[in-house]
Amino acid sequence: MRERSCPAVRRPSRAPPGDGIQAFVPAPPAPFISRFASCTVTVIDRCMRAVASGAALAEVDPDLSDHEVALIARDALEVAEAGDIGERDLEGSDWLLSAVAEARFKRSHDLRGRGDADRAKAAWDGGALALEEIAASSNRSPALVYEDIFFEAAQSLARRGDKLALVRQIECLAEELTHTTENNVRMELRDLALFYLELGEHRRGLELLAETLRHAPADPWAYNVIALRLPRLGLPSLGKLAAERGLELVRRGRDPERLSDRLRDLLREAGTAEDRSDAPVDALQDLRDALHTHFDVEGSASPEELARRLVPELGTARVKQLPAMPTPEVLAEVAERLRRVLPPKPVTSAWADLRAVTRGRMVPPRRGPKVGRNDPCPCGSGKKYKKCCAGKTALVTS
């Protein structure tokens, strides 16, 4: 059975970390909210107040068990009492470590803005290390969505050439299959394929891309991702073919996310450059064949069946679990400490709750025309807005 997720917020969209991350500092003492959060500020505040007052925890929210409410309140208290988050050692709950990561990313952004590139890189690496600690722990927080944490940890490892990135992305896929209610399995498989390619395991990466594409040949984002990434991995001819096929697909009227302009740009960028890869010839041909799959022919297996067939390591992949319910004695101590740190009035942050539609990614108000979550990102990355700049702003406490 899939575990229930926190209310109000669905799975966050993927936004790989980059220099553009900024930070908002809400007026204290609002609860900390991570860009990886599965709950809004108001939900976390309600959990804290329920434990502090001794109210019936199961009545806090219909989508949360008393176990989850107790853990959210305890973890939120840990952050509230933590002091200078950015200077803390990497010990504590996943929720605390997510706060450490956000604080270090904010510091990196501030230092880079002041021209201190070396210290900015060190702070950024510290935030990435905090995410890796979260990914490596066995317990999970009910207030976090873990797929993006695993992905960003894997991305940092892959940039260093560390094949532990593959383990983390497989754990990300296991997390998706075990704990979430939204089906992003094909996206996770594509990311895993690209990590294999980036780390030099060309055959495995190409095979995963080909099989995932055959399973859903009418997904325009698959062609967009392949057209965007393969030229950077030394395979411009396949990137060009993917852009051509993607354009052919959207010309058939299947362009709800208006990808045609971006695909045309990718086609021009691919140009006539020659491939510079030592990938196996037969695996390259298999992906070419997959790119020519008829758009109306889809695989009969479910995404979960596809993933378990293509990634047998899922059978032994570690999956994080909730820690035990705090004992009555521990809850009584937590309640007493919460009464000392909670503000007099409940947090009812309309700004934060309205941002729940961004699936946990807190973003600032925007000027100009609204960008839909499924529209191409205005930054020109080639990704959906929800998978790119919708997550470029993290919300942290001072």
The upper half-sphere exposure of residue 309, i.e. CA atoms within 13 Å in the direction of its Cβ, equals 14
Contact present, 190 and 212 (Cβ < 8 Å): yes
Return the pLDDT at 394: 34
> What CA–CA distance (Å, rounded) separates 11 from 24?
21
- Digit-coded pLDDT (tens) for 258-301: 788 899 999 998 888 888 889 999 999 999 999 999 999 888 88
Other beta carbons within 10 Å of 273: 14
Report the distance separating Cα 223 and Cα 293, nearest Å: 12
Task: Specify the pLDDT at position 359.
Answer: 35
For residue 37, the 8-state DSSP code is: B
Q: How far apart are CA 135 and CA 119, in angstroms?
A: 24
pLDDT at position 379: 56
Phi then psi for residue 266, to 5 deg, are: -65, -35
pLDDT of 8 reads 35
> What is the separation of C-alpha 18 from the centre of its chain, rounded to a whole number of angstroms?
13
Amino acid at residue number 122: A
Q: CA 222, CA 131: separation in Å to the nearest integer? A: 27
Other beta carbons less than 10 A from residue 118's beta carbon: 8
β-bridge partners, 155: none
* Rounded-to-integer distance, Cα 141 and Cα 68, Å: 8
Q: Which tokens sit at 141?
A: 């927080």
> Rounded to an integer, what distance in angstroms lies between the CA atom of residue 312 and that of residue 329?
43
- What is the mean pLDDT for each group of 10 consecutive residues in the chain (398 residues)? 34 37 41 81 91 92 92 93 77 91 90 93 92 94 91 93 96 89 83 96 96 93 93 94 94 78 89 87 96 90 92 94 95 94 73 36 38 57 55 36
- pLDDT recorded at residue 371: 54
Q: What is the pLDDT of residues 90-147, one digit of tens each?
A: 888 999 999 899 889 989 999 999 999 999 999 999 999 999 999 999 999 999 989 8
Beta-carbon contacts of 171 under 8 Å, excluding residues fewer than 6 positions away, are 135, 150, 317, 318, 319
pLDDT at residue 378 in the model: 57
CA distance 317 to 122: 31
Q: In the prediction, which pLDDT does 348 show?
A: 64
3-state secondary structure 178-204: HHCCCCCHHHHHHHHHHHHHHCCCHHH
- In sequence order, the β-bridge partners of residue 321 are 139
Q: How far is 4 from 38, CA to CA, in rounded Å?
A: 11
Q: What 3-state DSSP class applies to 361?
A: coil
CB distance 153 to 167 below 8 Å:
no
Name the nearest CA neighbour of 105 among 35, 39, 37: 35
